[in-house]
Amino acid sequence: MHFESPIKRRHSRQIMVGNVPVGGGAPISVQSMTNTETCDVDATVAQIRAIADAGADIVRVSIPSMDAAEAFKHIRQQVEVPLVADIHFDYKIALKVAEYGVDCLRINPGNIGNKDRVRAVVDCARDKNIPIRIGVNAGSLEKDLQKKYGEPTPDALVESAFRQIEYFDELDFQEFKLSLKASDIFMTVEAYRKIASQIDNPLHLGITEAGGLRSGTVKSSIGLGLLLMDGIGDTIRVSLAADPVQEIKVGWDMLRSLKLRSRGINFIACPSCSRQNFDVIKTMNELEQRLDDVRVSMDVAVIGCIVNGPGEAKEVDLGLTGGTPNNLVYLDGKPASKLKNDELVEELERMIREKAAAKEQEQANLIAKA
């Protein structure tokens, strides 16, 4: 389909997280967080690499102790993707990882401590040209705000954020991004909408503690989808109680669905019914597993019968329409070949990979001519 996205993104200033621009019209970056024991350097490095291979632009690592900070030094040396250090309670940990090449520091206003400690972190970040993420979370608001509001609210999140923003203004430090997260969709969305109209710093989106793979994907898609359709958001993290690689896949699926960014195959597939001429569900499951490594952006339609099949197939790079006695394959909207059911998956994989390789070559040629 060639319908353009109507989303107009919010204007924001730009910061750099390593070599990844965040805000200022840059592509919306996708990130996740490791869930290994950080002191297990080999396991953490392996997971960071897996997350990056899945398409992460940025990876966050929890640094709960000085031992973890020392481990971070060795982790940083072995991976190329930009790393964010997640810091709570002990500001000195932030100072230590700054020495070891961290690309961004995440601090929590609810537990990082008094202004002197924040100043120390900001001074260090300024000296080493490291941006900061102010990460406000409904579950760890300052005690006085909990007392004032009685419970977490959008206004409480915004007030917490502005305390740090105003202090950063006093320190003349603008190299920061901001998040205001809650596990409740409505609270999160309202908080981001309130803050988005009052500042121009880049915003990191997320529904915190969203749940397991299925429920968390649904909650995150609704919450982040509402904000992204408003044009709000410069980087996203889908929080799932699941393999972090799944967070990256879901994040890319969101951006692809909203036509904000594309990577890999956008499958269009029918849910199937008794009219299907081949097993659509089985075919789709196999294709998704086999073609997970394809990075070039392309549209593929897999439709089980002739009701909608030809129409969908004419709008995509490669389309399959179920038919009798054979199924029909379209390339670039035109009928190209026929396939029997027993050869369906093998041949489709071959044809999709050939089409992906051709598209990659076309892109390389355009870049070479530019």
Binding residues for [4Fe-4S] cluster: 270, 273, 305, 312
Q: What gap in Å lies between CA 124 and CA 121, rounded to an integer? A: 5
Give which of 111, 106, 81 is closest to 94, Cα–Cα: 106
- Specify binding-site residues: 270, 273, 305, 312
Which residues are bridge partners to 191 per DSSP? none
Q: What are phi and psi of 61, to 5 degrees?
A: -125, 130
Q: What gap in Å lies between CA 96 and CA 143, rounded to an integer? A: 27
* Rg of the Cα atoms in the chain: 23
Q: What is the DSSP string of 27-49?
A: PPEEEEE--S-TT-HHHHHHHHH
Q: What gap in Å lies between CA 157 and CA 145, rounded to an integer? A: 9
Distance of CA 153 to the CA centre of its chain: 25
Give which of 148, 164, 168 is closest to 156, Cα–Cα: 148
Query: Of all helices (H) and strands (E), which one includes residue 341?
Result: none
SS3 309: helix
